[in-house]
Amino acid sequence: MKRIMIGFIAAVSIVFSGCGDKQEKKEPSDTAGQEISSETEGADVAAGENLQEELDENVGADENGVDGNSVLSTEDGSVKISVSRPEGFEEVEYSSEQQVVFQRMGADGTSSTQINLRLMTEDENAVFTTAKQEVEYLLSANTDEQGATVGEVQALAEGERQWSFFSYSLAGEEGYRLWTSLSNGCILSCAVENIGSGLEPLTPESLVSMLSSICQI
């Protein structure tokens, strides 16, 4: 609407400029003054449009994450929450609004901890089923690994909030799947993978405390 109004103002300026040319044939000096005014107004309009485009770009950047803040949304984009980057972690390239991913690397260059966050509209049973299927697929893709295990679902409290989680492990890797219900009707689901031995692994207790501090829940 602002740009339409700017275009309308510019058009009106041109019309009045044309009328001025007809009326001022007897006074050339006034015509020259109006031409200068028209050019000035045109420059102001162009500057206003450029400023609006810069403001729009800045707003978009704010929404996509600035100063370590990211937006996490449901698949359909109907619900969004703010997520802060945890200390010592970086947001990876393939992170998105539907799946915010943070990672930290160990000094050895191979050890890592990855946190994958999703905001889901399904009920808890569906979230658990999805998490279980993901872990089963991961374990089946490593059929040569011996001693892979999957733990039972457990409950964990952080303040007044209740979390559910289960763990799994295979050679060189251990992970967790956690989830909790939010007041907005969604479920915050988190997948964590600790790979290698060069970093102190995140435990369910430390992870829940971290999520409570970085997520707007």
Q: 11: which 2 tokens? A: 């058009």
Would you mind telling me the total number of residues written for the chain in this entry? 217
Q: 31: which 2 tokens? A: 């015509």
**Tens-digit pLDDT profile for the chain (217 aa)?**
333 333 333 333 333 334 444 444 444 455 555 555 555 555 555 555 555 555 444 444 344 445 678 999 999 999 999 999 999 999 999 999 999 999 999 988 889 999 999 999 999 999 999 999 999 888 887 766 566 788 999 999 988 899 999 999 887 788 999 999 999 999 999 999 999 888 888 889 999 999 999 987 7
Say what the pLDDT of residue 52 is: 54
Closest residue by Cα to residue 61 from 69, 51, 50? 69
Spatial distance between the Cα atoms of 13 and 34, rounded to a whole number of angstroms? 10
Question: 154-158 and 100-105: which strand pairing?
Answer: unpaired
Q: What does pTM read for this prediction?
A: 0.67
Say what the pLDDT of residue 140 is: 81
Q: What is the 3-state secondary structure (H, E, C) of the chain?
A: CHHHHHHHHHHHHHHHHHHHHHHHHHCHHHHHHHHHHHHHHHHHHHHHHHHHHHHHHHHHHHHHCCCCEEEEECCCCCCEEEEECCCCCEECCCCCCCCEEEEEECCCCCCEEEEEEEEECCCHHHHHHHHHHHHHHHHHCCCCCCCCEECCCEEEEECCEEEEEEEEEECCEEEEEEEEECCCCCEEEEEEEEECCCCCCCCHHHHHHHHHHHECC
Q: Could you tell me the CA-to-CA distances from 194 to 116, 177, 191, 204 in Å, in that order? A: 12, 12, 10, 12
Domain locations in the chain? 2-64, 69-214
Burial of 124 (0-12, 13-18, 19+ CB in 10 A): middle
Question: What does the pLDDT look like over 56-101, one tens digit per residue?
Answer: 444 443 444 456 789 999 999 999 999 999 999 999 999 999 999 9
Say what the pLDDT of residue 22 is: 43
User: Which CATH number is 69-214 given?
Assistant: 2.60.120.1690
